[in-house]
Amino acid sequence: MQTSMLAAEIIAQRVFQPLYIFLDVGFLILLCLLLFFRRKYLTLLFGIAGGILYMIVDYGIFHLLLHTRTIEGGDLFWVLLWMSMSYGITNFVWIWLWVSKDRHLTEWSLLIVVWWISAPMIANTFGTGQEITIQRTTGAYHGYMALILFVSYAGAIVYNLFRREKTERFPLLRMLTIGILVQFAWEFALLIGGIRSAGLTDISDKLLTLIVNSLLETNLGMVGIFCIFVAVTRRVNEDLGARSRVSFRERMVEINRLKTDRHAEPNREGVVSVAEFEDREACASDLQG
């Protein structure tokens, strides 16, 4: 029986120097400090929550429940804790900044992506310890991931079909782009840095891991993340200060009306974005129309 590319057994493997862990922990501290001093408190908390979620999934489900994780040269718990916090924080922070249309999105994006590309090369050049090899197989759960992906996007599509105004709809193409690009960026960085799929000699196997993971693994949560973003930011500002509460639908309209403006000053009612948008009366009239 022929197996589809998405359903094929994929070995997601990483091989790296222990130095890579220490360098990356330093970068995470730097990133968190920058977010804190830039008063991106909500973004920072969401990133930390992402790291905890990744640890629950990776160690609790992939390892303890499904037994798909193996490691050589290191302690599985501590390596997974670092990996989960590393990519949980950076992925979720980047997604949050992207969804909020942050005026410094370019700078934050370059900081994260340039580090993802540079770190493996720095560690390989200066690291002298025994390499750590960690891998997982995906055949036991990619079908479940695909189901979550379909159900979540199908729900958002049905929601949009019953909304007359475009500003009340989920920005599906933008969400899809973010979900795919964030995962692709770090999968690609790991691949060219010699960490991802280092033990695989067939280029098709390496590309299969890159393509399937990019389409599926972060993207499956994008609808849920966007709903969380709307639900939280309709009540709380980026600096955790209270804002004038609006409904889920009204907040959706606000977000969709935002235009990224690198020169705009923060708007107190804008909550999570420094982009300026039309005043509340315009939003209200748009909803009533």
User: For residue 6, with 0-12 CB atoms within 10 Å meaning exposed, 13-18 middle and 19 or more buried, which class applies?
Assistant: middle
pLDDT of 208 reads 78
What is this structure's pTM? 0.84
pLDDT of 227 reads 96
pLDDT of 198 reads 58
pLDDT of 207 reads 78
pLDDT of 187 reads 87
pLDDT digits over 47-62, tens only? Answer: 999 999 999 998 998 8
Tell me the C-alpha distance between 240 and 238, whole Å: 5
Which are the contacts of 227, defined by CB distance < 8 A and separation ≥ 6? none
pLDDT digits over 127-166, tens only? Answer: 888 999 988 876 667 788 899 999 999 999 999 999 999 9
Q: Tell me what the mean pLDDT of segment 212-227 comes to.
A: 92
pLDDT of 271 reads 44
Residue 248 token pair: 């889920």
> What are the sequence ranges of the domains in the chain?
11-288
198 or 243, greater pLDDT: 243
